[in-house]
Amino acid sequence: MLRRSVILYLAWMACGAQAADALPSLKVDPSLVPPSQRPAKTGAAKPAAASKQPAATGGAAAPAETPAAASGVEVFPVATPGQPAAEAPVAVEAAPAPAPAAAPTSTPASVPAPALKAAPASVRQAAPAVSPAAPATTSNARNLPPLKVDRSLVKAPPGGRTVPPTAQAALDEAPPYRNVTTARNMPPLKVDRSLMGTPPVARRRVPAGQTGETVIAGTPAAQEADVTGALPPQVPEDDETRMLKGAITLSEYVERHPESRATLIAADQLDGTTDAVMRAEGAAELRRATTSLTADSIVYEPPTDELRAQGNVRLVRGEDVVEGPSLRYQLTRSEGVFDKPRYTVRRNLQTGENLRTTTGRGEADVMEFLGENRIRMENATYSTCGPENQDWYAQVDTLNLDFESEEGEGRNGKIIFKGVPVLYSPWLDFSLNNRRKSGFLTPTFGVTNRTGIDLLLPYYWNIAPNMDATIGLRVLGTRGLMFSSEFRYLQEDYAGKVRLDYLPSDRVADRDRYAFSLQHAHQFNQRLMGALNINSVSDRNYYTDLGARLAITSLSYLPREGSLTYSGDWWQLSAKATDYQTLANLPDIYRLLPSVTFNALRSDLPGGLVFSTLANYTDFRIDDVTRDQGRRAVVYPQLSLPMRNSYMFITPKVGVHLSNYDLDRGTANAAQSTSLSRSIPIFSLDAGTVFERDSDLFGQGFIQTFEPRMYYVLSTYKDQSKYPVFDSALADFNFAQIFSENVFVGQDRIADSNQVTTAAISRFIDPVNGSERARLALGQRFYFSDQLVTLPGGTPRTERVASTLAAVSGELLPKTWVDAAVQYNTDLSQTERYNLTMRWNPREAQVLNASYRFRRASTTVGDVRDLDLSAQWPLTNRWYAVARHNYSIAERRLVEGLAGFEYNGGCWVGRVVFQRIATNVQRTRTALFFQLELNDFSRIGSNPLDALKRSIPGYGQINQSAADPIFGDDF
């Protein structure tokens, strides 16, 4: 039996195990013994000086004659595992002097053995003198522990001398390294001398006046050091030696040598043979590069690489940990059975662009290892909660974890939350790495005033790596049973999705209702691409009755469009056909059947000239017979000369806008001409410069720029009162529009212009990362003539100075963002409109937003005064409040209201959110969301995250969820 800690390094994996012959009697090569310890010449007298060993600094004085000196023993500082060299004295015995004929020729007979010299001061301080009572030990091979030698196996020394009793007692009492010895039940081994490392050597003290280094006695380097004083370094020990001596642990050795496939065993007691069975008892430990096992006892069979472990078994495979009372395991195939295990598995989750680690824990009656990446369990539990917080877990009859496909699958499962079953399913399918997997998804449910109870039972079908489908049954309490489906596909040159919702026999509307959507994008080659965007619903009120999102319920027109685009080197040609379905009792708009557009840009013309052109042909159609229809052709060629340098730019440009109409007049304009043409030349000049300087803003250094700009436009007047209006409207007056040629959008109205716009922008740029921290802008437009071209029913402008624009935006204070703009009418001395938005976001999931928008009434639009407040705020370290209040002061009605609470349970999140949306002036939609989100597992209930992210700017998700919406869009 071997004692604690016995370590066996199995080399049978690298070479075949073989039976060892009996080890012959030990013969010592005299050349390995240092000269100072070799037998003295016959007749050599014992010097009296040898008995007078001076004490080192700080040590006790040596007696007049020590027992070691009396028996011919010299002491050298030798490094011993666990002790510094100066603190581990080792006794080396010198044999009695033989007959004169046997004396070595290198030592004169008349020269006595030298006494030890006093060590230098540095050595004396580090190495106290050896006390006479200190036991002497025997110097041994560096890689082997000291041996207790059976004296019957040792031949008597020459001359009939025997080992002195004092030295023999030291040999008998010398403690082994970390209790390492030879197992009595193990057969003799054939030892490969290359595995034994450097032979045992003694290290002499440094001569007086030299450094504190040591050299190997009896070597040429030592002899040279005696003359020159140059001392070679100490012989280093390899990791195998240090491990055998206990200087490093098995774990440290495996970490340093991950490529090693050797099997390492340690225990209090170890017996057996390397070619049959090894038994480890008492704090047993077995390690291999990727596997670690500890237990009270381990039985290991090297020929089959199988093991049995009992008592406090702990198996570690990578980052996975399993604990239990017993284990049967095959190391090579990673197969086995674990009884009553407690397990922890860790895997990396990819959520968008973020990579994080998730941890799953649980227990089972039986765990079967089916290879390196597959586990099967019976009567098992699974949870992502920590061991101290088991708020929820999934309990299943059988659980399969496949880490190769990174999927989990359970049968007859239920989810227990706070000790209460909240969901039962005959199948539980989930991803171990947030990847797609076929199976039933967690049901969702909610309540609305339009549908009553809203329960969705979805099934996900992972058809292929580039193709999937979601099919669900949606139970609407007051309306009936709806079928919902979504199909997605992705190829190298095309992608798209199709969605269909169908509600047969709506009990409230008393008719079948449906919604259909198709989006497809196709790249035929590097130059040609196409797209489809088809949307349709059964009636105009479908989304206001059955939609879940404000963006859906407030839709006015559904587009149905197909397009083709071909891109040349410097030109592009596109063709499209567009139709619209009108919703919410709004008037129809024109269909484009078709619309062809040609764009070109050449910037490599002689003299730095740049040529660009826009050409468009569109056929406008509408079902209203009172309105005009027809075909419109537009060509607008332009020629410019950009002149730029490092501090300024000037760009003059000239063009001619050509238009032609072929009309089918409606009954309201039957007397008007059906063929119209116009030609309007346009000239513009754009110039600006940039200055910069170092500046401070709220005590922080920035680079401040000052960018003045001037833009002049001149276009001739053409009477356009008889031209139809297919796609034109008055452009919004803002910083983007004031630097454009036309105050109208579209091609049906070309404004007569003789005006100049001046503006100045100042930016504050962070010199470290180049980001823009703040911006100030001021702009003004001046007119040199009255406006003549207007839209039908519009009022021509007569003032000479347009409204003044001013804006400020950026992070003006720490964690505080401001975005404000104002339009001031200098002629009327009144504010036309303004908006102010502020956001304070001191940390994640803590934000306050306030916004006010005002616009003065005009001939086309009414007065607008909207107040919008929203917040997400922590009440405690776990409770969060969310709210939004968007109120129209002019109309005295609530546009959208939202209020709720979130709770972060660590491994789960609960949400309760109430929302009310005004779909139009008379109708509102109310919804109540309940959601229980089990981190990295599933969501139960209806999902309010889309509403929270859209309604509260800066909203922060209090947990990093790996679950995606069931459908791509929550209709």
Average pLDDT, the chain: 76
Confidence of residue 596 (pLDDT cuts 50, 70, 90): very high
In tens, the pLDDT along 160-212 reads 444 444 444 443 444 433 333 333 344 444 545 445 443 333 222 334 343 33
Q: What is the pLDDT of residue 61?
A: 37
Of residues 20, 6, 5, 11, the one with CA closest to residue 302: 11
In tens, the pLDDT along 375-389 reads 999 999 988 888 878
773 pLDDT exceeds 80? yes
Confidence of residue 31 (pLDDT cuts 50, 70, 90): low
Element (H, E) at 446: strand 444-448
Provide CB contacts within 8 A for 468, sequence distance 6+: 436, 460, 461, 462, 487, 488
Q: Radius of gyration (Cα) for the chain, nearest Å?
A: 45
Confidence of residue 234 (pLDDT cuts 50, 70, 90): low
In tens, the pLDDT along 425-477 reads 887 777 666 567 777 777 777 788 778 888 888 888 889 889 999 999 988 88
Tell me the three-class secondary structure of 248-285, residue by residue.
CCHHHHHHHCCCCCCEEEEECEEEECCCCCEEEEEEEE
Residue 818 in tokens = 């401001």
227 pLDDT exceeds 70? no
Give the residue-averaged pLDDT of 542-549: 74
917 pLDDT exceeds 50? yes
Give the residue-averaged pLDDT of 248-267: 77
In tens, the pLDDT along 788-837 reads 999 988 888 888 888 899 999 998 888 899 999 999 988 788 888 899 99
Strands 557-567 and 675-689 come out as unpaired
Q: Which of 37-51, 78-92, 432-446, 927-941 has the highest mean pLDDT?
A: 927-941
Q: What are phi and psi of 787, to 5 degrees?
A: -85, 135
601 pLDDT exceeds 60? yes
Q: How distant, in Å, are the alpha carbons of 25, 233, 647, 705, 842 from that of 702?
A: 86, 58, 19, 10, 22
Residue 17 in tokens = 């195990």
Q: Which is higher by pLDDT, 354 or 66?
A: 354
The CA distance from 955 to 950, in Å, is 8
Neighbours of 953 (CB within 10 A): 17
710 pLDDT exceeds 70? yes
The CA distance from 344 to 367, in Å, is 12
Confidence of residue 299 (pLDDT cuts 50, 70, 90): very high
Neighbours of 950 (CB within 10 A): 15
DSSP for 128-168 reads PPPPTTSPP-----TTS---PPPGGGSPPPGGG----HHHH
Q: What is the pTM of this model?
A: 0.65
Of the listed ranges 457-466, 557-566, 762-771, 931-940, the one predicted with least confidence? 931-940
Of residues 752, 745, 753, the one with CA closest to residue 725: 745
Provide CB contacts within 8 A for 775, sequence distance 6+: 761, 762, 763, 764, 807, 808, 809, 810
783 pLDDT exceeds 80? yes
Provide CB contacts within 8 A for 255, sequence distance 6+: none
The CA distance from 523 to 491, in Å, is 10
Give the residue-averaged pLDDT of 678-683: 95
888 pLDDT exceeds 60? yes
Q: Which is higher by pLDDT, 670 or 32?
A: 670
State the alpha helices, DSSP H only, in 321-444.
Answer: none
Q: What is the pLDDT of residue 797?
A: 85
Q: Is 173 helix (H, G, I), strand (E, B) or coil?
A: helix
Of the listed ranges 235-239, 249-253, 917-921, the one predicted with least confidence? 235-239
Q: What percent of the chain has pLDDT over 70?
A: 70
Q: Is 762 helix (H, G, I), strand (E, B) or coil?
A: strand
Of the listed ranges 65-74, 112-121, 883-892, the one predicted with least confidence? 65-74
The CA distance from 886 to 895, in Å, is 5
Give the residue-averaged pLDDT of 403-410: 78
In tens, the pLDDT along 558-595 reads 899 999 999 999 999 999 999 999 887 788 889 999 99
